[in-house]
Amino acid sequence: MTIHGIAALSLSAVTVSPQSLVFKKTSFLGPRKSLFTDKRPRDNDDDEDEYVVARQIKKQKTVDIVNKRAQKEVHCLPTIQGRHKDLKSVSAQTVSQLLAGKYADLISSYQIIDCRYPYEYEGGHIEGAENLHNQALITDLVTGLQHHDKTQRNILIFHCEFSSERGPKLLRHLRNLDRKLNSDRYPSLFYPEVYLLDGGYKAFYEQHQSQCNPRNYVPMLHQNYSKQLRHFRVKSKSWTAGDKQNMRSRRHQIDASPLKMCLW
């Protein structure tokens, strides 16, 4: 073989076709990509589980939005920014207007719940207010199924001397108990519209004495009632303990009550 033949043979051996170039480029990038990633393909089961979880989260968010909107639509009295952010607060002026009949076209009935001790209540209270000063009495209010006609708007307004401790505490007790008894129908409640009087009886008395009966104000810490104060503070602890023990039996009774059956 001549020198020219050998050179031609060598040149043909190293000639690279376009197809081989593509193959080599692809084969080079393939392993290179695998070196710099730790991801692995997901199987079908993982994808399906993630889809189900996402659907459940989306559904729960929708339910939460609907419930929040329903709760907002329930309240018809003008509210203010009170000290307790989780409670709907109303001013003394609004309660005064309520007593004067301003909201009669919106509200079927209302109850003002005075959570002060009896000696405070007897010394002076808002006209028509009812003295319910412990958890047992509030529990009776809920389990008694008063105002069970859900086609009517019946509201409750809680307060104590300043609406800082006793009133909010008993309001929350009513709200939590109401939700437990209606856990399978929430946000449907026995008492869906409940308010806290901002500033309590003190604020109302200072602005609207003419709507108090008698027109007087006895502070909780009045020196003439120190014995009564100790008595009711001790009783309030025993009432709370006894109310917790009786809650299950009360709930069983209301679930089996014919009155509750007729509500739905």
- Domain chopping of the chain, boundaries: 66-261
Per the annotation, the verdict on 160 as an active-site residue is: yes
Report yes or no: 226 and 117 within 8 Å, Cβ to Cβ.
no
Confidence band for 154, pLDDT divided at 50, 70 and 90: confident
Average of pLDDT values for 30-38?
Answer: 51
Report yes or no: 76 and 106 within 8 Å, Cβ to Cβ.
yes
- Among 76, 115, 160, 262, the active-site one is 160
As a dihedral over the C-alpha atoms of residue 79, residue 84, residue 86, residue 89, rounded to 10 degrees, the angle is -20
Name 220's Cβ contacts closer than 8 Å, sequence gap at least 6: 116, 117, 120, 161, 229
Confidence band for 102, pLDDT divided at 50, 70 and 90: very high
Report yes or no: 132 and 117 within 8 Å, Cβ to Cβ.
no
Report yes or no: 196 and 82 within 8 Å, Cβ to Cβ.
yes
What is 66-261's CATH number? Answer: 3.40.250.10
The percentage of the chain sitting over the pLDDT mark of 70, rounded to a whole number, equals 62
Tell me the pTM: 0.65
Report yes or no: 142 and 180 within 8 Å, Cβ to Cβ.
no
Q: What is the pLDDT of residue 239?
A: 57
Average of pLDDT values for 99-116?
Answer: 95
pLDDT digits (tens, 9 = 90+) for 194-244: 999 999 999 999 999 999 999 999 999 999 999 999 999 898 776 555 555
pLDDT digits (tens, 9 = 90+) for 188-198: 888 999 999 99
